[in-house]
Structure formats: structure tokens, C-alpha cells
Amino acid sequence: MLRLIQTAPCEFDLAADHGDDDLAAVETLVYALLFTDQQAPARRVPTQWDRRGWYKSPQDGSALWHVRRQPLTDDARREVVSIITRTLSRAPALQDIAVTDERTSAPSGNVSSVFVGISGMHNGRKFMLRIPLTL
């Protein structure tokens, strides 16, 4: 079971109640980091009302959402791996992060076939995740 812990005013962190919930803690942290929208740069999304992100901290989260606006090409896949690696490297609890593009046998351009493998260390324990991305 996960607990929400207040670390400072308006700042929270997640903690596992039991040692066997470590994978749930890693999954929750990774999903929160990747699927919280970071504000897109003006060159990517010129309309200021469409740039998303948190007003208090526009650089928190990831920029995966604005990759959805381009065709699913090899360049887009490389950009996704780069964004995920950069985003997860900012989390102090995660170390030795490796991100891989896991292609399936589905036809190119099928968004349901976009998966990434993420491995590394979370608070000193090894983990491996496979996360579907809907780009």
C-alpha cells in the first residue's frame, strides 16, 4: 500500500507501507513523472494557451505529450526514449536508469505498439518495468 507524505508545504512524496510494495512505489513514481505534463517550449507549441504544464513549476513532469503531435517515426521514438531518460534522471530515488524502445511485430505507426522498457535502481533495489505509451 502506498502512502502520501507531505515533505514541505504543497509538496508530497510517496512511500510504501511494506517492503513487498517496492515495485508499486517504483511504478507510481515513474508514471507520475512521465505522465505529468511539462510545459512545452514556445518553438514546439506556439500558442501559449496550449503549452500545458504547471504554472508554479513548468519544467516538472515530462514532455511526452507534445511528441504526440508528430508522426510516429524513428525520430519520434528516439525523442521519446531521450525524454524518458532525461525525466527519470531528475528523480533522486532512481539511479542507473536504462530506457529501451521495445518494438512489437505490429505494423509501423500503430500507437498501441509503443512500449518502453525501463530498468535501474530505486532506493538501492533493482527494478524492471515495461510501460505502454499512447503517443
Q: Which amino acid is at 36?
A: T
pLDDT tens digit string along 63-118? 888 787 778 788 888 999 999 999 999 999 999 999 999 876 555 555 556 789 99
Judged against a pLDDT cut of 70, whether residue 42 lies above it is answered with yes
| Least confident stretch, 28-37, 54-63, 80-89 | 54-63
Judged against a pLDDT cut of 90, whether residue 59 lies above it is answered with no
The CA distance from 41 to 36, in Å, is: 16
C-alpha cell at 123: 532506493
Q: Which domains does the chain possess?
A: 2-132 (3.10.450)
Q: Please state, rounded to an integer, the average pLDDT across all residues of the chain.
A: 80
> Which percentage of the chain shows pLDDT scores above 70?
80
pLDDT of amino acid 45: 74
Judged against a pLDDT cut of 50, whether residue 135 lies above it is answered with no
Label residues 93-107 b or e (16+ Cβ within 10 Å = b). Answer: ebeebebeeeeeeee
pLDDT band at 40 (very low <50, low <70, confident <90, very high): confident
pLDDT of amino acid 109: 54
Task: Give the bridge partners for 15, in sequence order.
Answer: 3
**E strands, 23-114, in order:** 94-102
